[in-house]
Amino acid sequence: MKQGLIHIYSGDGHGKSPAALGKAVLLAAAGEKVVIIQFLKGKGVGDSEFIRRLEPEIKIFRFEKSDGNFDELSEEKKNEEIINIKNGLNFAKKVLATGECDLLILDEVLGLIDNHIITVDDLKNLLEGRDEDTDIIMTGITLNDEICMLADEVSRIETLKFKCW
């Protein structure tokens, strides 16, 4: 029986979400099921035709309604989005409890801590409810020791050079 691992892709560099998506594609190609829940992504990639073609092996969910950046929303809109985000976290709990996927990607979940939407304890509680076979990838910019201790593997991604195409 395989033991699921918790991975963190963190850092201020570009490429955390693409690295997680790459892992998702590799597992899907091997017949595994993947669920991706995006947070704080604005429009995100969930609405793209390409992503829909990856179903049913890869399913992407985005519970936020606004296409804008969370930091730029009015306080009223932020409060609405926080309710939507918490619905997304409840969905993640359900996915983890039922073992409905082999890999759950919580894209930009660490940003929820940065924005004071959840606490590290909230994240711990979410992870404790998981089926032991499920791998989890969490992405986000900020990483502290307390968050680092939650993971089996931590990758720091930093940009050494960035050039627009």
pLDDT in tens, 84-131: 999 999 999 999 999 899 999 999 999 999 999 999 999 999 999 887
What are the CA-CA distances from residue 59 to residues 14, 15, 38, 51, 136 (Å)? 23, 20, 11, 8, 14
Residue-range definition of the domain harbouring residue 84? 6-156
HSE, side-chain direction, 13 A CA sphere, residue 51: 17
Per the domain annotation, does 86 fall within a domain? yes
**Angle at which helices 120-128 and 75-98 cross, to 10°:** 30
Q: What is the pLDDT at residue 106?
A: 97
Per the domain annotation, does 162 fall within a domain? no
Per the domain annotation, does 163 fall within a domain? no
The alpha-helical segments, DSSP class H, found in the chain are 16-29, 49-53, 75-98, 109-114, 120-128, 145-148
CATH code for the domain in which residue 22 is found:
3.40.50.300
Token look-up 């049913």 returns 56
pLDDT tens for each residue of 3-36:
789 999 999 888 999 999 999 999 999 999 999 9
Per the domain annotation, does 25 fall within a domain? yes
Is the pLDDT at 153 greater than 50? The verdict is: yes
What total number of domains does the chain contain?
Answer: 1
H or E stretch covering 39: none
Per the domain annotation, does 50 fall within a domain? yes
Per the domain annotation, does 1 fall within a domain? no
What radius of gyration do the chain's Cα atoms show?
A: 15
pTM, full prediction: 0.91
